[in-house]
Structure 1
Amino acid sequence: MQAINEALKKAQIILEEGGVIGLPTETVYGLAARIDIPSAIEKIFTTKERPFFDPLIVHVSSIDMAKKVTAYWGPASEALAEVFWPGPLTMVLPRDPSVNTMITSGLETVGIRMPNHPLALELIQEVGVPLAAPSANKFGKTSPTSAGHVRVEFKNENVFVLDGGDCDIGIESTVLLVRHRADKVELSILRRGHILRSDLERVLNEKGITFEFLEKIDKRESPGHMKHHYMPPIPLIVVTEPNLKPDQALKLINNKMSELPEEIESVKIQKPKNGIHSYELLKLSADPLLATREFYAQLREVAARGKDCILFYREDSQVGERWESLFDRLNKAASLIL
C-alpha cells in the first residue's frame, strides 16, 4: 500500500510540473497530462510523435468534473454516464470554452470519459483537474495493455508509469458522438469498443429517451480514426480466405506489398526491404472478450519472434458485435487484408 501511495504521489508531482505519465485504465494504458497546462498537452503530442490533427480524450473522476469541460451535458449524457461510467465509454460533446483547442484538434467538441480503474480515478481526484490521455504508445503503433509495454515504448523518453497491472478490457473505449436536438438525440459511434450499440440502445430505451443513430458522420472527431493505426513493427496480414495456405499467402503478399505507399495519413506502413519469406501465426481465443483482452499483448509478443510478418486467419465463427469491435482494431493494424 505504501508503494502505491508513493507512486501516486510521484505521478501527481510530475503532472503538476507539466510532465506526462503512463496512466493505467481498464482499456489500455494512457499517456496522461493535465488539461490546464498547455505545454503539458503539447508534450503528449511530441512524446507520442502524434500529429496535432488527432484529438485527445479528457479523463475525469466524476460527472461533476465532466460537466465542467462540456458546454452542454444533457439528458442522454446523464443517462449513459449513470450506467456506463466509470467504464469504457467516451462521449463526444460540445467543448466548454475553457478546454484548450489543442486537445480537440481545433474542433468544437471534446471526448470525455471516466476510466474504471481505481488508481486512475484516485490520481485524477487528487490532481483535481481532468487529464488528457491518448494511448501510451508511439503514434500509429500497437497500444499498451501493461506497464511494461509503456516502459519499452518510451524507454528513450524515460516516462514514469503508474503500474496498475494488466488492462481488463484490452482495447480502447467506445467513442460516441452525442448531439442533443429539440426533438431527439442524434448518436454516432465514431469508434467501436467494449460498450456496444445494443447496450446503448437498451439504456436509452429504458430511460425513455428518443434517439436516432446516424451512420454517415465525419469521424475526425474521434481519436484513432485513421485507416491505419495500432500497427506492429512487422506487417500484419489478415487472411479472410480460409483455404489460402500460408505459402500461397506469402506469394500474394509480396506481390501486393510493392503497391502499398510508404505511409498513409502520417502512419508508416511496414514493408520489409528484402521481401517477406517467413511468418508467425497470430492466434486468439474463441471467446471475443478474451480475444480482445489478449489481442495487443499477443500482437507484441508474436511480432518479437523475429519473423518477417504476422498472419491472422479470420474464421467464420468470428461474427457479432463483440468481434466487430476487435476487428476494427485488427483491420487497422493490418498492412494488408487478403
Structure 2
Amino acid sequence: MAKAKIILEEGGVIGFPTETVYGLAARIDIPSAIEKIFTTKERPFFDPLIVHVASIEQAKKVTAFWGPATQALADAFWPGPLTMVLPRDPSVNAMITSGLESVGIRMPNHPLALELLQQVGVPLAAPSANKFGRTSPTSASHVRVEFRNENVFVVDGGDCEIGIESTVLLVRHFADKVVLSILRRGHILKSDLEQVLQNKGLTYEFVEQIDRRESPGHMKHHYMPSVPLIMCLDPQRSPESVLAEVNGKMKDLPDEIESIRIIKPEGGIHSYEVLKLSADPLLATRELYGHLRESASHGKDCILFYREAHQQGERWESLFDRLNKAASLII
C-alpha cells in the first residue's frame, strides 16, 4: 500500500482491486497522471473515466449537484457496484469526463481499495486495468500479464467478488421528479434501484433512449478476448455448422470498429473451445472474464459459446451485455 501511494503521488498509475474488476488508477488532481491512464490502456480520449471516492463527502466535491435521489442511492448501494453519473464540478479535469459536463462517481466495496483511497486522500480516476476494448481483469495476475511491457505495479486484493463492471446510472434531478437512465448494466439491477426510490417516496422516471457516451464501455464492441468469441443462439447446432457459417462471414467483418481492432485469424477458423459457465447467473458473471482469458490462452482459433434456454431474466442481462459486446459474431 505504501508503494502504491508513492507511485500515485509521483504521478504514476497502479492496478488496484475492487469488488467488480481491477482498475488502473491515477490521482484526479495530476493531469499528466490522468493522461497516463489513457496512454497505458491505449484508450481513446472520448471514453470517460470513473472517479472512485472513499466517502460521500469526497463525492460531493466532484459533483455540482447532490440531490435527494443521489443521497438515497448512495446510502443504499455505497460502498458497492453502482456508478452514478452526475453534473461535473468545474474542478474536475475535463480529460476525466471526455469533455462532458457529467462525471461518473462510485465508492468501491473492497477493503484495500477503500484503504488506499483514504490514505491518498484524493479521489482516483480508474477504468478497468486492461488494454482498451479487451477482456477486463478479475485478478492481479490478469493485470500483470496485460501490462507486462508497461511494468504496472499492482496491489493484489485476490479475485474479484462480482466479476463485471459496475452498473452505471445517469441521475438527473428536476423540480417534480428524478429522471434516471441505466447507461451500463451491472450487478445492481433496475428493480433494486426502483425499490430504494419507492421506499423513500421519491417520484422518478426511467428513460431508455439516451446518449450512452456518458458511460465507459458504451461502444458496440468491448471486453473482447484475444481470439474471436462466437455466440450461437441455437444450443442444438453442431460446432461444425457454426464454424462453416463463421468462416463465410468473418472475411466481411471490418478490421476495426469504433477504435477496437477485430481479430480475424488469417487462415480461417478451424479449431474451437466451448466456453462453459455456471447455471447460476451470479456465479457465471464471476467466472466470465477469467474463463474468457483462460480459453483464449489454449491455442484454439476461436471460443464458441452457446446461449441456453435457462439464461433468461433480469439477472442474466448484465452478463449478456458483456458477451454480446465481446463476441465477434452472433449467429
TM-score by length of 1: 0.98
For residues 215 and 316 of structure 1, what CA distance do their matches in structure 2 show?
A: 26
Task: List gaps (5 residues or longer) in structure 1.
Answer: 1-7
For residues 211 and 140 of structure 1, what CA distance do their matches in structure 2 show?
A: 33
Amino acid at match of 1:230: Y
Question: How do 1:60-209 and structure 2 match up within 5 A?
Answer: 60-209=53-202
Deviation string 1:184-210 (CA, Å, 9 cap, x unpaired) is 000000000000000000000000010
Amino acid at match of 2:119: E
Task: List gaps (5 residues or longer) in structure 2.
Answer: none
Compute the displacement of 1:244 (Å): 1.6
For residues 276 and 133 of structure 2, what CA distance do their matches in structure 1 show?
A: 22
Amino acid at match of 2:313: G
Match status 1:212 vs 2:224: no
For residues 136 and 221 of structure 1, what CA distance do their matches in structure 2 show?
A: 19
Segments of 4+ moved more than 4 angstroms: none
Deviation string 1:21-75 (CA, Å, 9 cap, x unpaired) is 0010000000000000000000000000000000000000000000000000100
For residues 326 and 235 of structure 2, what CA distance do their matches in structure 1 show?
A: 20
Q: 1:5 maps to which residue?
A: none
Q: 2:21 maps to which residue?
A: 28
Q: 1:4 maps to which residue?
A: none
For residues 106 and 325 of structure 1, what CA distance do their matches in structure 2 show?
A: 27
For residues 242 and 38 of structure 1, what CA distance do their matches in structure 2 show?
A: 49
Amino acid at match of 2:257: I
For residues 139 and 58 of structure 1, what CA distance do their matches in structure 2 show?
A: 18
For residues 215 and 166 of structure 1, what CA distance do their matches in structure 2 show?
A: 33
Q: CA RMSD in A?
A: 0.4
Match status 1:315 vs 2:308: yes
For residues 75 and 139 of structure 1, what CA distance do their matches in structure 2 show?
A: 35
Amino acid at match of 2:250: M
Compute the displacement of 1:321 (Å): 1.1
For residues 87 and 259 of structure 1, what CA distance do their matches in structure 2 show?
A: 42
Match status 1:221 vs 2:214: yes
Q: 1:282 maps to which residue?
A: 275
For residues 337 and 156 of structure 1, what CA distance do their matches in structure 2 show?
A: 33
Compute the displacement of 1:253 (Å): 0.2
For residues 163 and 289 of structure 1, what CA distance do their matches in structure 2 show?
A: 23
Q: 1:237 maps to which residue?
A: 230
Deviation string 1:75-102 (CA, Å, 9 cap, x unpaired) is 0000000010000000000000000000
Q: Secondary structure at the match of 1:311?
A: strand
Q: Secondary structure at the match of 2:44?
A: coil
For residues 239 and 73 of structure 1, what CA distance do their matches in structure 2 show?
A: 44
For residues 221 and 14 of structure 2, what CA distance do their matches in structure 1 show?
A: 25
Amino acid at match of 1:117: H
Compute the displacement of 1:243 (Å): 2.4
For residues 172 and 71 of structure 2, what CA distance do their matches in structure 1 show?
A: 13
Q: 1:259 maps to which residue?
A: 252
Amino acid at match of 1:29: Y
Q: Secondary structure at the match of 2:62?
A: coil
2:52 to 50, 55, 59: 59
For residues 253 and 43 of structure 1, what CA distance do their matches in structure 2 show?
A: 38
For residues 245 and 182 of structure 1, what CA distance do their matches in structure 2 show?
A: 56
Aligned residues: 331
Amino acid at match of 2:54: S
Q: Give identity over the alignment, percent.
A: 80
